[in-house]
C-alpha cells in the first residue's frame, strides 16, 4: 500500500533519527519515480529531513531555508499527505512550529510526523524493531557519526561520478 522507501524513511525519521539516511532513501526513490519534479511530495520529505539534520547541527540558516522550501510543497500536495497516511492539518501546524523554533534559534528537539493510519504506524514500528531501533526515541545528540554524518562519509564515488560527468561534457578529452 505504501512505497517501501517511504516506510524506510519513516523508520529512520522516527527510529534512529538518521535524517541523512532519510534524505538518501527518498532522493533515490524520487529520481526513480518522479525525476526532475522539484514540486514532488518526495522532495518535500527530503527537504524536511535535511531541515531536521541542519537544525540538529545548529545550522539555523540551512534549517530555515530547507524547511521554507518544503512547506509550500506540502501545502500544494495536501491530498498526497492523506494518501501517505499523514494528518495534513497537524503536519502543517507542526511545520509552522518547527519553523518558529528555528527562526528563534531554539535547540533541536526530536519530533514525530503525524501518522494517522494505524496500519502504517504498526508497519513502521515493526520495521524499527527488526532494525534494532526504538520507535519515537529521542535523537542521540552525542553521536557525532549521526549528527555530522555528511562530513564523515566516504565521498569517493560522488567525486568520481562528478569527474566522469565533467569529462563527458568536455567530449571525453
* Alpha helices (H) along the chain: 4-14, 19-33, 41-56, 60-76, 78-83, 88-103, 118-131, 144-147, 149-152, 156-169
For residue 146, is pLDDT > 90?
A: no
For residue 157, is pLDDT > 60?
A: no
pLDDT tens-digit readout, 3-42: 999 999 999 999 999 999 999 999 999 999 999 999 999 9
For residue 154, is pLDDT > 50?
A: no
pLDDT tens-digit readout, 72-82: 999 999 999 99
State phi, psi for 116 to the nearest 5 degrees: -110, -10
Distance CA 148, CA 64 (A): 18
Threshold 0.75, pTM exceeds: yes
For residue 145, is pLDDT > 80?
A: no
- Residue 3 is inside which H or E element, if any? none
If we measure between CA atoms, which residue out of 60, 54, 51 comes closest to residue 106?
60
Q: What is the pLDDT of residue 147?
A: 56
- Residue 100's contacts (CB-CB under 8 Å, 6 or more residues apart) are none
Q: What is the pLDDT of residue 155?
A: 45
- Residue 111's contacts (CB-CB under 8 Å, 6 or more residues apart) are 52, 94, 98
For every residue of 45-82, DSSP letters joined together read HHHHHHHHHHHHTT-HHHHHHHHHHHHHHHHHTHHHHH
pLDDT tens-digit readout, 50-64: 999 999 989 999 999
CB atoms within 10 A of CB 107: 9
Amino acid at each position: 500500500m505504501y512505497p517501501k522507501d517511504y516506510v524506510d524513511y519513516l523508520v529512520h525519521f522516527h527510529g534512529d533519527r538518521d535524517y541523512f539516511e532519510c534524505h538518501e532513501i527518498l532522493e533515490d526513490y524520487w529520481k526513480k519515480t518522479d525525476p526532475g519534479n522539484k514540486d514532488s511530495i518526495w522532495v518535500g520529505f527530503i527537504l524536511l529531513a535535511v531541515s531536521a539534520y541542519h537544525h540538529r547541527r545548529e545550522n539555523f540558516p540551512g534549517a530555515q531555508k530547507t524547511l521554507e522550501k518544503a512547506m509550500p510543497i506540502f501545502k500544494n500536495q495536501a491530498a498526497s499527505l492523506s494518501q501517505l497516511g499523514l494528518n495534513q492539518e497537524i503536519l502543517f501546524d507542526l511545520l509552522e512550529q518547527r519553523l518558529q523554533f528555528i527562526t528563534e534559534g531554539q535547540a533541536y528537539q526530536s519530533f514525530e510526523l503525524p501518522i494517522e493510519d494505524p496500519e502504517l504506524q504498526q508497519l513502521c514500528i515493526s520495521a524499527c524493531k527488526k532494525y534494532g531501533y526504538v520507535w519515537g526515541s529521542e535523537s542521540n545528540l552525542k553521536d557525532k557519526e549521526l549528527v555530522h554524518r555528511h562530513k564523515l562519509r566516504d565521498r569517493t564515488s560522488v567525486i568520481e561520478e562528478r569527474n566522469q560527468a565533467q569529462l563527458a561534457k568536455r567530449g571525453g578529452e
